[in-house]
Chain A
């Protein structure tokens, strides 16, 4: 049971990470193409702040670096599943869509659909962007070479 709980949490966290990194328009497009079950806002989407913490020296005691804008929402499916959405920025609809996806992946009826039609394509799009950037970064890596005296 405890293992199931941990697995479930890890799965939800992984889905939330994919969604938080995705463009709101892309999430909306993916969800629009689906036949969504009845749901309601458990908490109206709202804006707020979180205090971002760093660590002294990168790995030491925490300190308050500065705040960031955040949006959050909570959604309940008619079948009872509760979903939560949190994301950086002030896009409340994005938070609501994340909450909806979080609720849907907890429902046996919808989890696979969300994985295949929403999460997988978003994950792939993010990976393409990341790899592209990583390749650009890698090209600025310095290759040192030693010159022989008298050369060059």
Chain B
């Protein structure tokens, strides 16, 4: 029997009104502004832009405010917004080698050309809560020093000069760049699609997978060859203008993992690579991404696939937190009819069970007589 159920409109409307009220919180407390979120919760904004797959600080800040700080909800909002705008095209690939670097470290070489630059980092802090931040704080002005004119080549470029590390795969002119926002995913997936998937993947999921690969679930013996943070120029080949127009700069974090060797009878052994790239200052994300990117190259590098981090179908199908939350959270929506049918089935099974039991062992009273 099919039963249509209606109702709940007023309850829903009132629930949303209550939500708006709770979102605002105590109205004696000043309302948080988008500029405050963007400036002072900037790493949260970076994460929402990266996983929301949309670079726009103000929109990401709005999403965080609207979502009451629930990052996955904010990411969901940003993804939904993205669908409302037309796409003009794709940019020229950004050149991270020409980044205006604000942080750049390598765990492989102490003396790299351009030096180790710590930039604004939590590293080497003592992780003690700072009571001074509980009040109004005016931080000391940053120290300054004469900038070096030295260029900052990527560490992988330095290793590459001596052939010690594999070179990056070059584009196949015949193949378009895969785009999982336009075409459904199929397996096996090319590295372009894997990197796109990982770039927008949930940071926690990638962190856990990357960690698992370090602990032995998949072969990964990496060094952080280089992590760099800074601004890169973005150019767009505009058909109407007839040349590549500069759009301005975006902030990116890049991680190059240097992993153990491959080689063959015809090729000398060399280090292999894993790559991570994300919007904003997203260091943990790009490191995790680079670990998982390398683990997912198992098939290409002839490694035995034994661990979750090496299984591209498993990783790519479960990495997107908007998809994941949609499927997990749909369980709370009304399933009354589904549940009724299961309930009916269960009642039938229980009746059969008790009928059978009655046949096999007659009631105790009978046996006693």
Contact = CB atoms under 8 A, between A and B. Distances in A.
Interface of A: 9, 12-13, 16-17, 20-21, 47-70, 72, 74, 84, 86-90, 130-142, 144
Nearest to B57: A89
7 contacts: A50-B91, A54-B93, A58-B256, A59-B168, A60-B170, A65-B196, A68-B234
B101 A137 contact: yes
A47 B275 CA distance: 32
A63 B250 contact: no
B247 interface: yes
Contact of B196 (A16, A64, A87, A131): A64
Contacts of A74: 240
A50 B87 contact: yes
A116 B148 CA distance: 30
Given A59-B97, A144-B110, A52 B91 contact: yes
Nearest to B82: A67
Contacts of A64: 90, 177-181, 192, 196
Given A58-B154, A66-B55, A140-B119, A51 B101 contact: no
B206 to A, nearest CB: 15
A62 B86 CA distance: 22
A142 B144 contact: no
B199 interface: yes
Given A56-B195, A62-B93, 11 more contacts: A9-B243, A50-B90, A51-B89, A52-B234, A54-B252, A61-B168, A61-B169, A67-B53, A68-B234, A138-B147, A142-B115
Nearest to A55: B93
A53 B111 CA distance: 31
B80 interface: no
A132 to B, nearest CB: 8
Top 8 closest A-B pairs, CB basis?
A: A60-B168, A57-B168, A68-B55, A135-B144, A66-B53, A20-B248, A139-B143, A17-B246
A140 B102 CA distance: 9
B245 A62 contact: no
Nearest to B198: A63
Nearest to B274: A57
Q: Which of A50, A64, A141, A144 has the most CB of B within 10 A?
A: A64
A58 B118 contact: no
B244 interface: yes
Q: Which of B56, B168, B241 has the most CB of A within 10 A?
A: B241
Nearest to A91: B58
A59 B161 CA distance: 14
Interface string B76-107: 00000010011111111111110011110000
Nearest to A72: B88
A72 B143 CA distance: 39
B236 interface: yes
A56 B144 contact: no
Given A49-B88, A58-B97, A87-B247, A63 B56 contact: no
Contacts of A54: 93-94, 96, 195, 199, 252, 277
Contacts of A133: 102
B252 to A, nearest CB: 8
A121 B214 CA distance: 52
B241 to A, nearest CB: 4
Contacts of A139: 142-145
A106 B42 CA distance: 40
Contact of A65 (B88, B92, B199): B199
Contacts of B277: 54, 58, 65
Contacts of A142: 115-118
Contact of B145 (A70, A87, A135): A135
B224 interface: no
Contacts of B96: 54-55, 58
